[in-house]
Amino acid sequence: MSVLGEPVRLGPLVARNRIVFPAHLTNAAVARLPTAQHAAYYGARAAGGAGLVITEEQSVDPADRPYEKLVDGTDPAVVAGYRAIADAVHGHGALVLAQLGHNGGQSSSIYSRAPVDGADDEPDPMFREVPRVLSDAALARLVDGFGLVASHVAAGGLDGVEVQCSQASLIRQLFSARSPRAEPFLLAVLRAVRAAIGPDRVLGVRVQGDEGLAGGLVTEDAVRVAVAVEPLVDYVNTAVGVATRTLPLIEPPMGVPAGYAAHVPSAVRAAVSVPVIGVGRFTTPEQATEAVASGSCDLVGVVRGQIADPSFAAKALRGERVRRCIGCNQECIARVGLNQRLGCAVNPAAGRESVSSPPVASGGARVLVVGGGPAGLAAAVAAARAGHAVTLAERSDVLGGQLALASRAPERRELANLVADLAHEARDLGVVVRLRTPVGSVDGVDAVVLATGARPALPPWAGGLERVVDVTDVLAGRVAPSGRVLVVDAGRGHPATSTAELLARRGADVAMLTPALVAADALAPTLDRERWRRRAAEVGVAEYTDRVVLAAREGLVVDVLEHLTGTVTPWPADWVVHAGPPTPEVPDLGVPAVRVGDCLAPRGIDAAVREGTAAGRSM
């Protein structure tokens, strides 16, 4: 049996296995209270086998509100919500703790209409507000706040508390500012929480092990804090990154290897005798097992892996495949950052656990899915799961559609994992896959799902010039631009940046043009942008903003308009590579068909998987 399956004692209680669903924002709160969605969401991961669930942060101060849907744990009305969460998780045999925290200066006044309270008066770079410096008396009131919320946690029947001292936290800010008030405050908080929850519940801390900032907190600081609090706590959780300054460290996108943060739990584990939780982009059972087996941690935190596949833990313990998180960050990190409820590109049910799905039609129909991209694959999987006989017809000789192409770019290989996982599920469910089959016969078919995607569309200024091509021509290997390449980003997201990087790595002299005010701005919400900029700088991609192409003529010369100033400049190039919105591909099959994904409107992976899944279920 996997080491992940060994029970572990956390002070007074025992977790049934080593897999933790750590705290993370869900935006599921309404009016600052926990909801039925919280209970269903955590309950689904407990049902999926997790040993320990830690809720998202519960604030200890009503004035602390950096984002709209932060739960105010001081409101006695939270107890009913905690009770529902406890029941949902306990019903499936897992433990559940509440994370308690205060965001300090990493906060906003837009909801509270009161000054932001901070460890010092340095504005946070994300919120950009000068904080009011917390007095000693105000800190003492916050200690009481931690105690009050902990008493609500106990009253709600949760199994204990984790005190947040890392990503977004006043306690982290005090330590980071090297304030002499830091350690006494943390110890006072832990004593107050312990007094409120008593000896029969679990108390843990989450310590900061690497802020990623010059002069910031590092692993030795995490060790020092862990040693100082060890007598008071039952476990130590670890983290790297600051939520408002070095967020990509906390929630790294695809391309960052599993275990990138292992140095922190390893060092803490060497210094304390209580169990230590490690985190760090573990997306497969093998990676999670390795983290524990190698001794870097006692328990392993898997957030996105369990969002993508709620049964990650059970499958890990049984040695089965999971539907993997691909680290696209499009529906989890990016949505939450926009004040929207958490979702998942590969798991359409994530964030909607409390929404009752329409009943699945009884199986037995013959279903044809046209198109083997993510939408078609998701439709085939869902229809087969509903008991239908499914044939999937794909025009090309590979599955994956646009994803298969996109995954050829540097650092985007994990996109292919979704194709592989869906294809694997389809095969297991007996879907008949026909490659090199444009449409397939509709004879004898009861229902058709059209998932034919979209085709590249060059802009009118391309004028049929041979060396003005689409990014997909490059990714598919139909052309191999070299020399001076101008990549024109008229779309959103990765197509232009991926292609620019790919060509620069092949030795081309690449300039990337965008009409936007910021180069690669669409990569920011998914936290891909910083890494891309570093790589682009490394391989010499030059970025130009505020520019649109007006015309291209033989030579090759394009006329580039700087739209802020109205200046037009001729721009010589050997190749122009265009990335822009494609055009839906809607073949007329002569029979009614449900359109899903890009053939309805060209959008992201999430729309393809969501619509494909919904269509497959409703056949």
Partner 1 sequence: MPRVLGEEIVLGRRTAPSRVLFGPHVTHLADPHRPRALGPDHVAHYRARAAGGTGVVVTEVASVVPEDHPYEDAPLAPLGGDGWAAIADACRPYGTVVLAGLGHAGGQGSSAYTRGPLWAPSAVPDPASGEVPASLSPWGISEIVAEFASAAALAVEAGCDGVEIQAGQHALLRQFLSGLTNQRDDVYGDDRALLLVEVVRAVRSAIGSRVLGLRLTVDELAPWAGITPSSARAVVERVADLVDLVVPVRGSALTVGATRPDAHTEPGFLRDVCSSVRVPGVATVLAGSVVDVPFAADVLASGDADLVEMTRAQLADADLVAAVRAGSAPRPCVLTNQQCRVRDVRNPRISCTVAAPEVPERVVGRSVSPVVVIGAGPAGLEAARTLARAGCPVHLVERASTVGGLLPLVAGLPGRERFARLVDWYVDELAALGVPISLGVAAGSGVLQRGGHPRHEAERELPRRRPNTRVERQEITHDLESGRAVLACGGVDRPGRGTPIAAALRDGVPPGPVVIEDPVGDGAAVALAELLAAEGREVSIVAPGLLIGPGLARTGDLVDAQARLARAGVRRVTESSVTGWSDGVVSVADVVTGAVSSLPAAVLVDAGPRRAPSFAAGPGLIAVGDAVAPRTVAEAIREGRAAARELLA
From the CB of 597, what's the least distance to partner 1, in Å? 10
| 88-101 as b/e: b if 16+ CB within 10 A | bbbebebbbbbbbb
Site membership for partner 1, residue 617 (CB under 8 A): no
**Candidate residues 77, 80, 130, 227; the one interacting with partner 1 per rule CB under 8 A:** 130
- For partner 1, give the closer residue by CB, 129 or 144: 129
DSSP-derived letter for residue 369 is E
Question: For residue 117, what is the enclosing H or E element?
Answer: strand 117-118
Q: Closest Cα to residue 61, out of 146, 161, 163?
A: 146
Closer residue to partner 1 in complex, CB, 29/39: 29
State yes or no: residue 338 binds partner 1 (CB under 8 A): yes
Would you give the binding string for partner 1 spanning residues 571-590, x where CB under 8 A is met?
A: ----------x-xx------
CA-based nearest residue to 279, from 309, 238, 328, 251: 238
Residue placing its CB nearer to partner 1 in the complex, 113 or 466: 113
Could you tell me the smallest distance in angstroms from the CB atom of residue 130 to partner 1? 5
What span, in angstroms and rounded, lies between the C-alpha atoms of 188 and 140? 9
362 binds partner 1 (CB under 8 A): no
> Using CA atoms, how far apart are residues 324 and 97, in angstroms rounded to an integer?
26
Cβ contact 223:267 at 8 Å? yes
Among 7, 14, 31, 436, binds partner 1 (CB under 8 A): 31
Of residues 246 and 437, the one with the C-beta less far from partner 1: 246
Going by C-alpha positions, the residue among 525, 534, 82 that lies closest to residue 329 is 525
Contact 374, 418 (CB under 8 A): yes
User: CB-wise, 273 or 565, nearer to partner 1?
Assistant: 565
Judged by beta carbon, residue 68 or residue 446, the one nearer partner 1 is: 68
What is the distance between the alpha carbons of residues 43 and 56, in angstroms, rounded to a whole number? 14
Smallest gap, in angstroms, from Cβ of residue 564 to partner 1? 4
Binding-residue pattern over the window 92 to 111 for partner 1, x denoting contact by CB under 8 A: -----------------xxx
169: nearest Cα among 159, 180, 182: 182
Using the minimum distance from each CB to partner 1, give the nearer residue, 183 or 562.
Answer: 562
Residues 522-541 that bind partner 1 (CB under 8 A): 522, 524, 530, 533-534, 537
| Other beta carbons less than 10 A from residue 14's beta carbon | 11
Beta bridge partners of 15: 8
584 membership: H or E segment, kind and range:
strand 583-584
Residue 455 in contact with partner 1, rule: CB under 8 A: no
| Per-residue interface string for the shown chain with partner 1, residues 491-520, x marking contact by CB under 8 A | xx------------------------xx--
Among 340, 357, 441, 482, the residue binding partner 1 under the rule CB under 8 A is 340
Enumerate the β-bridge partners of residue 255.
Answer: none
User: What does the block give as tokens for 500?
Assistant: 């620019």
Q: Are the C-beta atoms of residues 333 and 51 closer than 8 Å to each other? A: no
The residue (of 343 and 400) whose beta carbon lies closer to partner 1 is 343
125 versus 570: smaller Cβ distance to partner 1: 125
HSE-CB for 72 with a 13 A CA cutoff = 16
Interface residue list for partner 1 (CB under 8 A) = 30-31, 67-68, 109-111, 113, 115-116, 121, 123, 125, 128-133, 335, 338-340, 343, 491-492, 517-518, 521-522, 524, 530, 533-534, 537, 546, 562, 564-565, 581, 583-584, 600-603, 607, 610
